[in-house]
Chain A
Amino acid sequence: MEAVTQTDVKVRGRKKRSKAERKEARMFYILTGPWLLGLLIFFALPMLASLWISLNQWDLLTPEKFVGLKNYRTAFRHDPLFWQSLKVTALYSVFSVPLGLVFSLLLALLLNQGVRGMRLFRTIFYLPAVVSGVSVLVLWAWIFNPQVGLLNTMLGYLGIEGPGWIFDPHWALPSMVIMSLWSTVGGSIIIWLAGLKGISPSLYEAAELDGAGAWQKFKSVTLPMLTPTIFFSLVTDIIGKMQTFGEAYVLTKGGPMNSTLFFNFYLFDHAFQNFRMGYASALAWVLFIIILVLTIVVVKSSALWVYYEGERN
């Protein structure tokens, strides 16, 4: 008798849930509907077009010629610059992603202090974000100039002879990392600040009652509550840095000695300098797959370390 009742409850419980589930799913599609439609028109179509182009030989002017996987084979087997550009992009990302995260988080913590004049300081630190792309790169061309540039002038005051920065194959990539720290910090700080402001003060009060010091509070309140923001920054940084383009395009043209031959610049060069649109599209798809795999790894791992207060189990 008892057993029967239990099964009965279970069945009824599931039935009820599945109706609620259907309602929930319907709401999901209503809310995300516009996006899914946009995805189809503005993303899926151009994307499929580029996939098709990657299977062709096309110079933009004469009709395309279908060549199957030839472009992909050429890249992997016969193109040393393909591997060089992958190496440059990987090295750059390995350094600039974690450095950028730590650097901008530290600055955001500093800008989250309650001292006078903070609005002005925050605005100053946001400055790099508002200069338009080309102006900021022109600015850096001057900063890195070994003779008349800012960096070596400053080092000169200290009696240090600075390196050739973007003109020295050993220093060019580190120069790019330095520049990325400066130019992305403004935008990142806002995201961190929004994350920090979202943490409930009552959590800190509770920690203080338990006698937690500054470090303890950071470790047991700030950091766990920031994990959704860290996750966001990590994923978007990986996607962004793997596609670095403008720096090479304006500053170095991939040189010296291919030391800043970013993958995205290399493929752009094929597309619009050599007019090998098919090959460029194949390269783009290789990059796309690499970034996709990296992102999926991070997304899958997030269950282990990202904490959402609104998560239902």
Chain B
Amino acid sequence: MTNSTRYWMKTSLAYVLLLGGSAVMLIPFFWMLSTSLKESYQVFTTPIKWIPDPIKWSNYVTTFTSLPFGRWFNNTLIITVASIIGAVVSCILVSYGFARFRARGRNVLFILTLATMMLPDTVTLIPKFYLFSQFGWVNTYYPLIVPLFFGKAYFIFLLRQFFMSIPTDFEEAAKIDGASTFGILWRVILPLTLPAIVTITIFQFNDSWKDLLQPILYLSKPDLYTLTLGINFFKSENDVQWNYLMAASFVTMLPSLFFYFIGQKYFVESITLTGMKG
């Protein structure tokens, strides 16, 4: 086999798998989109009607004019941006500490860090709510933002793994040149772990953007609502307005998707950066 046939076969196989996988990933979203454009009585018909007849574009207008989505969008954006800043800055510092500096009790503290993910949220819910209401934080965004400035176990763990994969030679060299600890972190470690930093940024965006549990607990004034909380207006105990619910869900998830699409660039660019590693 010549090199070009081999390359051609490999590429075609990759495309077959990618297209097949994409179909599996996309079908549920076609259903969402199609549902969002239907009359409510058409939602559950057999066999599945993929293309609605008539196509009700007006569902989108009704969805977004009947409720103050503009305001909820702003609220969600504020929470998301503040959370990202808090989580990224604090987690970088903390995980750098865990990855590079030895101290007595470090391993115990690390296990303790992991332990914060192990107790089911369901039982810390009430004590946490009690704590934050003592602070007077109910009906403010503080419970959703402030804890992130103290770090997040999942991200600390993730970044620590990446920091520990970086050979120490670069730091030694920078140290000889007289760089400080923070200088090394900023100029040596961060550029080399950009994919991981972008990863936690994308994750935090998504987490804050679609969080439901915490807004439900802490925000009871409609003025303060986030998007996911607002969407719930279309779903009550005994009545679900499927077409509006799907229209709102569909539009709400687009920013996360867009953010990921943009963030990806840095995965690709980082190849050139890590090239200097070896």
Of residues 2 to 51 in B, which have CB atoms within 8 Å of A's CB atoms? 11, 14-15, 17-18, 21-22, 24-29, 31-32, 44-48
Partner of A47 from the list B15, B47, B119 (CB cut-off 8 Å) is B119
Q: Which of A34-42, A166-174, A253-261 contacts B (4 or more CB under 8 A)?
A: A34-42
Q: Mark A21-37, 1 if CB is under 8 A from B, else 0.
A: 10011011111101111
B252 contacts which chain A residues (CB < 8 A)? 132
Partner of B94 from the list A34, A200, A264 (CB cut-off 8 Å) is A34
Instruction: Say yes or no for A86: interface residue by CB 8 A criterion.
Output: no
Q: A32-B97, A34-B94 are in contact. Are A280 and B123 (CB under 8 A)?
A: yes
B212 touches A134 (CB 8 A): yes
A142 touches B275 (CB 8 A): no
- The distance from the CB of A141 to the nearest CB of chain B, in whole angstroms, is 11
B65 contacts which chain A residues (CB < 8 A)? none
A129 contacts which chain B residues (CB < 8 A)? 206, 256
B48 touches A39 (CB 8 A): no
Contact-residue bracket for chain B: 35 or more
Of residues 86 to 127 in B, which have CB atoms within 8 Å of A's CB atoms? 90, 93-94, 96-104, 106, 109, 111-124, 126-127
Partner of B28 from the list A132, A134, A143, A236 (CB cut-off 8 Å) is A143
- The distance from the CB of B87 to the nearest CB of chain A, in whole angstroms, is 12
- The distance from the CB of B133 to the nearest CB of chain A, in whole angstroms, is 13
Q: Which of B55-63, B67-75, B217-225, B260-268 contacts A (4 or more CB under 8 A)?
A: B260-268
- The distance from the CB of A39 to the nearest CB of chain B, in whole angstroms, is 7
Instruction: Say yes or no for B214: interface residue by CB 8 A criterion.
Output: no
Partner of B48 from the list A27, A150, A231 (CB cut-off 8 Å) is A150
A131 touches B278 (CB 8 A): no
Q: Which of A3-11, A94-102, A305-313 contacts B (4 or more CB under 8 A)?
A: A305-313
A31 touches B203 (CB 8 A): no
Partner of B127 from the list A46, A135, A139, A295 (CB cut-off 8 Å) is A46
A50 contacts which chain B residues (CB < 8 A)? 119, 123-124, 127
Instruction: Say yes or no for A296: interface residue by CB 8 A criterion.
Output: yes
A35 touches B120 (CB 8 A): no
B118 touches A34 (CB 8 A): no
B257 touches A126 (CB 8 A): yes
A203 contacts which chain B residues (CB < 8 A)? 278
Instruction: Considering the complex, give the chain A residue whose CB is closest to the CB of B273.
Output: A197
Q: A32-B98, A110-B21, A133-B210 are in contact. Are A292 and B118 (CB under 8 A)?
A: yes
Instruction: Say yes or no for B193: interface residue by CB 8 A criterion.
Output: yes
Instruction: Say yes or no for A209: interface residue by CB 8 A criterion.
Output: no
A267 contacts which chain B residues (CB < 8 A)? 120, 122-123
A34 touches B127 (CB 8 A): no
Instruction: Say yes or no for B181: interface residue by CB 8 A criterion.
Output: yes
A308 contacts which chain B residues (CB < 8 A)? 164-165
A269 to B181 alpha-carbon distance, docked (Å): 49
B47 touches A153 (CB 8 A): yes
Partner of A239 from the list B11, B117, B268 (CB cut-off 8 Å) is B117
A122 to B198 alpha-carbon distance, docked (Å): 15
- The distance from the CB of B46 to the nearest CB of chain A, in whole angstroms, is 5
**Consensus secondary structure, chain A interface:** helix
Instruction: Say yes or no for B139: interface residue by CB 8 A criterion.
Output: no
A299 touches B150 (CB 8 A): no
B93 touches A34 (CB 8 A): yes
A63 to B252 alpha-carbon distance, docked (Å): 42
B22 touches A121 (CB 8 A): yes
Which A positions have Cβ atoms within 8 angstroms of B? 21, 24-25, 27-32, 34-39, 41-43, 45-47, 49-50, 53, 60, 107, 110-111, 113, 115, 119, 121-135, 138-139, 142-143, 147-148, 150, 153, 182, 187, 190-191, 193-195, 197-203, 225, 228-229, 231-232, 235-236, 239-240, 243, 245, 264, 267-268, 271-272, 277, 280-281, 284-285, 287-288, 291-292, 295-296, 299, 308-312
Which B positions have Cβ atoms within 8 angstroms of A? 11, 14-15, 17-18, 21-22, 24-29, 31-32, 44-48, 90, 93-94, 96-104, 106, 109, 111-124, 126-128, 130-131, 147, 149-151, 154, 156-158, 161-168, 181, 192-193, 195-196, 198-199, 202-203, 206, 210, 212, 228, 231-232, 235, 245-246, 249, 252-253, 256-257, 260-261, 264-265, 267-268, 270-271, 274-275, 277-278
19 A–B pairs (Cβ distance < 8 Å), ordered by A: A31-B93, A39-B113, A39-B150, A42-B150, A46-B128, A49-B127, A119-B261, A119-B268, A130-B253, A135-B245, A150-B48, A201-B274, A228-B165, A235-B157, A277-B126, A284-B119, A292-B111, A295-B115, A312-B168
Told that A45-B131, A232-B158, A292-B111 touch, could you supply 17 new A-B pairs with CB distance under 8 A? Answer: A25-B102, A32-B93, A32-B109, A37-B150, A39-B116, A42-B128, A47-B124, A50-B119, A121-B22, A125-B25, A130-B260, A134-B232, A135-B249, A200-B274, A201-B275, A202-B277, A288-B115
